[in-house]
Structure 1
Amino acid sequence: MIPLNESQIRASFVNASRKEVSDVSLPVDLDTLDFEVRDFLGWRDKKLPRRAYVVTIVDGEPVGILLRQADAMPRTRPQCAWCQDITLSNDVVFYSAKRAGQAGKNGDTVGTLVCADFQCSSNVRKLPPLAYVGFDAEAARQERIATLSVRAASFASSVLNGVG
């Protein structure tokens, strides 16, 4: 992911009001984040526990999305739609996002199951367990890294374009 500063992050939000953007609590460690090992930037709001934010790259530009965590937790152990890790030690929750533009003003939303604290980038960088004799774990890891960016950008595009 490309490195981003505070003004780039705030300017990237596509589904938030000016007030919501001004209220965004940026990650505390923003100045020291290693963007080279991140496929998107995701964090939870420290002041509002059910609010979170994701910034990903779509067509070479940062796209920020304000997310809201669902009140209810899934009854079963869900799989993260982005990293698709089946050996997660962290929680996966349902986040919804208003669509951008008039669709969002009309109440249209899109949702996804994602790691609660956005650990996806580190999850896909772990070597997967050997699935069979001759399994290329490193190739599988590289494929998981590549597809994570695509999945995050696809979700952002669905927020932008009203496609879901």
Structure 2
Amino acid sequence: MEPVTEREIRASFVNCTKGEAKRLSVPGDLSERPWDELDFLGWRDPASPQRAYLVAASGDGLVGVALRLASPHAGQPRRTMCSLCLTTHPGGGVALMTARKAGREGQQGNSVGAYLCADLACSLYLRGKKDAGPGSRLHESLTVAELADRTAVKLNSFLARVTG
């Protein structure tokens, strides 16, 4: 992913108002991010742990999506898998994140959801830059580029459900 500015990030959001985009928490370390290893920019709001944000490059520029994390289930912790990068995590390492749909459908309360790495660090997990623990990555014969391509296809599918 190419480096992006705070202004570009705020302008990219498709499922919230301009006022909401102006008020959301943008990471302060944009200049320090490993942009060449990121397929998308994702972060959790430090002031509101149930909010997360995802910004990805698209054919039309950047697409930003505001997400809400579902309340964690009570019960015995188990390993769950991210639907984007296919990394498994113990306990709360994967969360159901929902995004209000863009446009009229979102105004009517419609949303879409996906199980994603709770820290939105999918790019780093699939490149081996971050570890979710033993057995967190499936043994696959795909190259890192092929893993990144598969993740991009899954991400674009999710974004199309939000914007479409």
Q: Above 0.5 in TM-score?
A: yes
- Aligned amino acid, residue 115 of structure 1: C
Measured in 1, the distance between the counterparts of 2:62 and 2:13 equals 9
**Shift of residue 72, structure 1, vs aligned partner:** 3.0
Question: For the Cα contact (< 8 Å) 2:99–2:112, is it kept in 1?
Answer: yes
2:14 is matched with which residue? 14
SS in 2 for 1:21: helix
Structure 2 counterpart of 1:158, from 140, 156, 161? 161
Greater Cα offset, 72-81 or 54-63: 72-81
The answer on whether the counterparts of 2:86 and 2:137 sit within 8 Å (CA) in structure 1 is no
Any residues of structure 2 matched to 1:98-109 within 5 Å, and which? 98-109=100-111
Hey, what does 2:112 align to over in structure 1?
110
**Per the alignment, in what secondary structure is the counterpart of residue 124 of structure 2?**
helix
Q: 1:2-41 to 2 correspondence within 5 Å?
A: 2-41=2-41
Secondary structure (helix, strand or coil) at the match of 2:81 reads coil
Deviation at 1:60, TM superposition (A): 4.6
TM-score (norm 1): 0.85
Mapped partners of 2:151, 2:116: distance in 1 = 11
Q: 1:140 Cα shift? A: 3.6
Equivalent runs, 1:142-153 vs 2, <5 Å: 142-153=145-156
Give the Cα separation in 1 of the matches to 2:138 and 2:71.
Answer: 37
TM-superposed CA distance for 1:129, in Å, is: 7.2
Amino acid at match of 2:157: S
Give the equivalent residue in structure 1 for 2:62: 62
Q: Secondary structure at the match of 2:97?
A: strand
- Give the CA deviation at 1:142: 2.7
Distance 1:123 1:129, change over 3 A: closer
Structure 2, unmatched stretches of 5+, are 130-135
Q: Which moved more, 1:112-121 or 1:25-34?
A: 25-34
Q: Could you tell me the TM-score, scaled by structure 2's length?
A: 0.85
Provide the rounded CA distance (Å) in 2 between the counterparts of 1:141 and 1:35.
16
C-alpha displacement of 1:115? 0.4
Change (3 A) 1:130 1:5: closer
- Name structure 1 gaps, 5 residues minimum: none
Q: Which moved more, 1:15-24 or 1:42-51?
A: 15-24
Rounded to whole Å, the distance in 1 between the matches of 2:6 and 2:38 is: 17
- Which has the larger displacement, 112-121 or 21-30? 21-30
